[in-house]
Amino acid sequence: MNWYPMRLTTPVKQHVFGGRAVPERLGRTGLPAGPVAETWEVSDVEGEHSHVLNGALAGHTLRELALSHPDELVGRGWRGPRFPLLTKFIDAHRPLPVHLHPDDTAAREREGEPNGKTEAWHILYAPPGSTALAGVRPGVDHGRLRQALLDQDFDAVLRRLPVRAGQTLYVPGGTPHSFGPDTLVYEIEQTSDLQQHAMRHRMEDGAPIDDAQWRANVEALLCEWKPEHRPDFHGGLRLPTEGGVERRMLCAGPYFALENWRVRAPGDAVPAFDTCVVLSNIGAATEVTCGAARETLGPAETLLLPAAAVSGVRIHGPADVLLGYLPDLERDVRAPLRAAGHAPEAIAALGEGLGAAACPLPPPDSLTTNR
């Protein structure tokens, strides 16, 4: 089979917190009228499977291809029950509900799911004075957190962080969080839609939640909370410019890495990975080629580059793109950043599992749940 850059269906969520920033600020076309809270760029979430739109594989779901051709699609001996990456554009025109996602252990033990939902936010736009909530303040115990959630007094217990465009936050599963209003985010995460909310209204339509269900939601959140997680925003770390391509490592951990590549005209960027790459455009329209295949990548659009095709892909500048992939933390992250002169402490701040010691990959049959 000849593999090629895949254009996928992108489920659109018109939740009540959304606005019009994705079409109006980013320039994305083809979106429905009304609020656009989220576009799921690459999804294998149950009930929200992306389908291939172009080429010989048109009509196939991402799930079908991940299960039948894991080496060619995902790469590096990966095996798992679902495609491992979920990516989104999110417009928090209004603040997102305070919520958390379980880590892998909580997802398996409490939800019966194979993996949790660690995520990262790359901020595309935020007005001056914007903030986000991420993690609980030191010294807050379960009892104090429970009372604050019941009082809806989130600032009494949660850390409020300043937000600026260009920054990234790695959010491990088990971390209470929220962002908005008027904050535009690109999000990369484990494939999961598990979450526990602390709000008294539904995220989707703002409808009230009855008292018994709301209290049950708060208790579920408390059971899945990990007190130790207190992530901070950072600006990423530069890698050496090569061939007119400016690279910045935005975040990395066991489940994903995210880079920003700025390709100067008339340069070409050539991804050199041995896993699939989720390629999302955060700038003006650009061209992506792979042999005879050519795709125009419009503003806020995404292509999935299968592992078997990545080495043949060219991203034609000028371009401003994000690349998400499954990293080998030593080879793809620590080693190049050390070679670029970055201190171990700065590298470790990008995410999880980035301490000085090598971090070997787990067995292939566990990559989706234990990496």
What pLDDT shows up at residue 242?
Answer: 86
User: What are the extents of the domains in the chain?
Assistant: 6-224, 237-349
What pLDDT shows up at residue 370?
Answer: 28
For residue 194, give the amino acid letter: L
Q: Do domains 6-224 and 237-349 have the same CATH topology?
A: yes
Q: What is the DSSP string of 257-315?
A: EEEEEEEPTT-EE----SB-EEEEE-SS-EEEEETTEEEEE-TT-EEEE-TTTGGGEEE
Q: Which of 165, 104, 35, 67 is nearest to 362 (CA)?
A: 104
Handedness of CA 4, 256, 266, 23 (dihedral sign): positive
Is the preceding omega at residue 266 within 30 degrees of 0, hence cis? Answer: yes
> What pTM value is reported for the model?
0.94
Give dist(CA 203, CA 70) in Å, integer. Answer: 34
CATH of domain 237-349: 2.60.120.10
What pLDDT shows up at residue 211?
Answer: 97
Measure CA 62 to chain center: 17
What pLDDT shows up at residue 266?
Answer: 86
Q: Which of 292, 298, 327 is nearest to 313 (CA)?
A: 292
SS3 state at 197? strand
Q: For tokens 């850390």, what's the residue? A: 159
What pLDDT shows up at residue 336?
Answer: 97
What pLDDT shows up at residue 357?
Answer: 52
Per-residue model confidence as pLDDT tens for the chain (371 residues) = 899 999 999 999 999 999 999 999 999 999 999 999 999 999 999 999 999 999 999 999 999 999 999 999 999 899 999 999 999 999 999 999 999 999 999 999 999 999 999 999 999 999 999 999 999 999 999 999 999 999 999 999 999 999 999 999 999 999 999 999 999 999 999 999 999 999 999 999 999 999 999 999 999 999 999 999 999 999 999 999 988 899 999 999 999 999 999 999 888 999 999 999 999 999 999 999 999 999 999 999 999 999 999 999 999 999 999 999 999 999 999 999 999 999 999 999 999 999 865 444 343 333 332 22
Give dist(CA 233, CA 17) in Å, integer. Answer: 23
Give dist(CA 350, CA 335) in Å, integer. Answer: 14
Torsion angle of the four alpha carbons 60, 65, 69, 74, in this order, in degrees rounded to the nearest 10: 130
Residue 295 CB-half CA count within 13 A: 24
Q: For domain 6-224, give the CATH superfamily.
A: Jelly Rolls (2.60.120.10)
